Structure 1
Amino acid sequence: MTLSLPQHYREILKGLGEDPEREGLLDTPKRAAKAMQYLCHGYEQNLDEIVNGALFASDNDEMVILKDIELYSLCEHHLLPFIGKAHVAYIPTGKVLGLSKLARIVDMYARRLQIQENLTRQIADAVQQVTQAAGVAVVIEAKHMCMMMRGVEKQNSTMNTSVMLGAFRESNTTRMEFLQLIGRSK
């Protein structure tokens, strides 16, 4: 017999020494299952649906940046949240992507069990695939509850990851312009 997600949460409560029949916990397995499904709804999305044809012809060949895209994800090692922001840039080659699509791409990959290093790469590769840009850059900075709430308990640590593709990787000037514009270089 396969247990449903709420039944699994009920078993977790028992395993922790709790009584899932006590008043405060009666609906917790159902609520926890619903929350986890929401937190991981990125698995139900795909890039084509997210972009939905929102590529528009443009003569712009200058850097396009969307800064401070908040993100919420779950560490695949401990199932604890990491919370932060992403900065995404690309250099168009004849087409620009609808602005909200960059944030939706970040969310689609963040709403899966992740490690930040892979999340950064997945976002960059997706933007490159969709836009065929001359270059793509992604920087993510996040605080990890698995470092803050347990383990080494370092409350003020922030992890930064970056992926630079195309012109951002090949040209130090382009990379430095991006980093200056997002406020990460002096």
Structure 2
Amino acid sequence: MDAVVKKIARESAVKRPSQEEAEEAVRTLIAWAGDDPTRQGLIDTPKRVVKAYKEFFKGYSEDPLQALSRTFDEDEGYDDIVMLRDIEFNSHCEHHIVPFIGRAHVAYLPSDSVVGISKLARVVEIYARRLQTQETMTAQIVKAIDQALKPRGTALLIEAVHQCMSLRGVNKRNVSTITTQFTGEFKSTPALQARFMELVRAPSGGFSL
């Protein structure tokens, strides 16, 4: 069974605690940190944290393949790079549940159809809103695009700053982690990879509305 399918199966099998159980877990962590969860400033914190978690990790309840399911055939035979760059995202490291923040640059070579460009950003957002490693997130996004669109090739570069490295451990701030993945013609054609990287690094042109 494909690793992605196994991961989806695990996620669907998880029994979620109740709201009350989740809030009690937050109280336990507050007390473990050394503070009193019943004091005035913290009394509503468990409820706020649980509400925030619903937003941080809403990607577990969303399907990236569904986001890519609506495609368009009326592209007049366009067969060159379709690219979205500078897709800002916020995710959380699965090792420490601390944020990592960055940008994704994604491109594909259409075969028979194209997808609405906002859907590519949506896929990034869905996977970012889960507990992640950057490497896994990179692979998941590319696999979803390849599976849903069956393009001639997909390219992805993610660059992010990990707070688990900035705020703890080695305490090195503003160190960027970069991951890439290429499939199809992007993987087999170095010139296409180079062109993708040039587009990632090219000036934006200063467009404004």
Where on the TM-score scale, by shorter chain, does this alignment land: which range?
over 0.9
C-alpha distance in 1 between matches for 2:142 and 2:89: 15
Does the 8 A contact of 1:60 with 1:94 survive in 2? no
Q: Secondary structure at the match of 2:111?
A: coil
Q: Secondary structure at the match of 1:4?
A: helix
Matched, 1:173 2:173: no
Matched, 1:104 2:119: no
C-alpha distance in 1 between matches for 2:164 and 2:118: 30
Q: What's the RMSD between the two structures over aligned residues?
A: 1.5
**Among candidates 103, 111, 130, match of residue 93 of structure 1:** 111
Between 122-131 and 83-92, report the one with greater CA deviation. Answer: 122-131
- Could you say which residue in structure 1 is the equivalent of 2:153? 135
Per the TM alignment, residue 121 of structure 1 is displaced from its structure 2 partner at its CA by 0.6
Q: Secondary structure at the match of 2:34?
A: coil
C-alpha distance in 2 between matches for 1:89 and 1:153: 33
TM-score by length of 2: 0.84
Per the TM alignment, residue 21 of structure 1 is displaced from its structure 2 partner at its CA by 1.0
C-alpha distance in 2 between matches for 1:60 and 1:122: 26
| Structure 2 segments unaligned to the other structure (5+ residues) | 1-16, 203-209
Does the 8 A contact of 2:89 with 2:124 survive in 1? yes
The aligned runs of 1:141-160 (5 Å cut-off) are 141-160=159-178
| Structure 1 segments unaligned to the other structure (5+ residues) | none
Amino acid of the structure 2 residue aligned with 1:78: H
Report sequence identity in percent.
42
- Could you say which residue in structure 2 is the equivalent of 1:4? 21
Q: Secondary structure at the match of 1:67?
A: strand
Q: Secondary structure at the match of 2:172?
A: coil
C-alpha distance in 2 between matches for 1:120 and 1:45: 17
Does the 8 A contact of 1:67 with 1:86 survive in 2? yes
Runs of 4+ in structure 1 over 4 Å off: none
Matched, 1:84 2:102: yes
- Could you say which residue in structure 1 is the equivalent of 2:136? 118
- Could you say which residue in structure 2 is the equivalent of 1:18? 35
The aligned runs of 1:50-61 (5 Å cut-off) are 50-51=67-68, 53-57=69-73, 58=75, 59-61=77-79
Amino acid of the structure 2 residue aligned with 1:55: T
Per the TM alignment, residue 54 of structure 1 is displaced from its structure 2 partner at its CA by 2.2
Q: Secondary structure at the match of 2:201?
A: coil
Matched, 1:42 2:53: no
Does the 8 A contact of 2:24 with 2:46 survive in 1? yes
- Could you say which residue in structure 1 is the equivalent of 2:86? 68
Structure 1, residues 45-79: CA drift from partner, whole Å, max 9, x if none?
1124323x420012110000000000110000000
Amino acid of the structure 2 residue aligned with 1:156: N
Query: Aligned pairs, how many?
Result: 183
Matched, 1:27 2:44: yes
